[in-house]
Amino acid sequence: MIVINPAKELGLVKFAEPKSPNSMLKGGSEIASDCVQPRIGSDIALMNGIAKAVLELGLKDRHFIANPVSGFEGFAADLAALDWETISAACSISAKEIGHIARQYGKAKNAAFA
């Protein structure tokens, strides 16, 4: 699980079992593999960066994505025109970290965004 939230909410990163004193004393168990804190209001910039990295790294089959989607090639062209410095400046997340998130997403068998 990758948490993307401007505020690091402990409940999204760790879980402590209230009935277990040991769990409560140790601060809980990790439930998130990564926690990224983008600038407030920069969710579109970050998601564009993740999509750009997914396409650049070849993590998802372009034909599979484009087949049921209208306007995909235009979207892909818009992403290709974005430079990493602009994306990183907008969301305060480095291109390296965005690439890490994209690789995690790309290798996932199932994914959900909430």
Sequence ranges of the domains in the chain: 1-37, 38-114
In this predicted structure, what is the pLDDT of residue 92? 96
Q: How far apart are CA 98 and CA 45, in angstroms?
A: 11
Residue 29 DSSP label: E
HSE at residue 57, side-chain half, CA atoms within 13 A, is: 20
State the fold for domain 38-114: Dimethylsulfoxide Reductase; domain 2 (3.40.228)
What is the number of helices (H) and of strands (E) in the chain? 7, 4
pTM over 0.75: yes
Mean pLDDT of the chain: 82
Task: Check residues 80 and 14 and name the one with the higher pLDDT.
Answer: 80
Tens-digit pLDDT profile for residues 17-71: 555 555 445 555 566 677 888 999 999 999 999 999 999 998 877 777 767 778 8
Report which of 104, 109, 92 is spatially closest to residue 1, judged by C-alpha positions.
Answer: 104
Q: Once rounded to an integer, what is the mean pLDDT over residues 91-108?
A: 93
